[in-house]
Amino acid sequence: MNIIKRLFRFIFKIIFWLVAFSIGMAFLYKYVPVKVTPLMVVRYFEPQEQSLRVLWEHDWVSLDHISKNLQLAVICSEDQIFLNHNGFDFKAIEKAFEYNKKGKRIKGASTISQQTAKNVFLWSQRSWFRKGLETYFTFLIELCWSKERIMEVYLNSIEMGKGVFGAEAASKHWFKKSTRNLSKLEASSIAAILPNPRSNYIQGRTDWIIKQMVYFGVLDYPEKDEKKVRN
């Protein structure tokens, strides 16, 4: 009986410290640049032909140094209700569930917040366990970060090509300029890479994103206490 009590006490302590550590990391990253993510490390050590190897490219920049064109482009491309939800697009999740039951797949079920949580705290392989942790971390960052901070971390950590991470590195890699100087077309081209940064198709999706940016209008982040849920 004492052994069982000790075991439960031990498990409780582990869970407690893991939760405390995760909350501490979330609050730390609310203020501190995220210079390294699990995916960056995994990509760096993946087996590659030496001639095709791309060095790890990543330059952290603050949100006010990232083109509003790019911020709007990724919202239109990845998560058009980003400014209004609390981390989850339940309609998209429901659609994905229904399509997957039929053996089909749909893009766009994960929000920018979910992708940020996954990129910063977790690994890339899909599993129900990882999805559960992704839900937890998404809730956590939505609770303590502003939408601007989520966007800032997202645009500094997302994979945008082989060995290329973040908006600044992508802008310099693809267009030889700083991300703050990206045009609407250039920003849309970078956003078009995001669904699959290791594929080469972009033109059709770029055109679609530009149209969505026109429909969306001006990008204006809400105050933290004025967020609305529209699911």
Residue whose tokens read 């990232």: 66
**Is the pLDDT confidence value at 133 over 90?**
yes
Q: Is the dihedral of CA 138, 142, 144, 147 positive or negative?
A: positive
Alpha helices in 145-220 (DSSP H): 147-157, 167-175, 184-193, 203-216
CA 38 to chain centroid: 13
What pLDDT does 20 receive?
A: 93
Give residue 166's region: left, alpha or beta (phi > 0; psi -120 to 50). Answer: left
Decide: residue 216, CB within 10 A, 0-12 exposed, 13-18 middle, 19+ buried: middle
**Tens digit of each residue's pLDDT (9 = 90 or more) over 46-98:** 766 554 455 678 889 999 999 999 999 999 999 999 999 998 888 877 776 66
**Tens digit of each residue's pLDDT (9 = 90 or more) over 161-204:** 878 899 999 999 889 999 999 999 999 988 888 766 665 667 77
Q: Extract the tokens encoding 34.
A: 């995220």
Give dist(CA 122, CA 224) in Å, integer.
25
**Which of the 8 DSSP states describes residue 104?**
-
Domains and CATH numbers, the chain: 33-226 (1.10.3810.10)
Which residues 6+ apart lie within 8 Å of 228 measured at CB? Answer: 84, 222
**Tens digit of each residue's pLDDT (9 = 90 or more) over 25-41:** 999 999 999 999 988 88
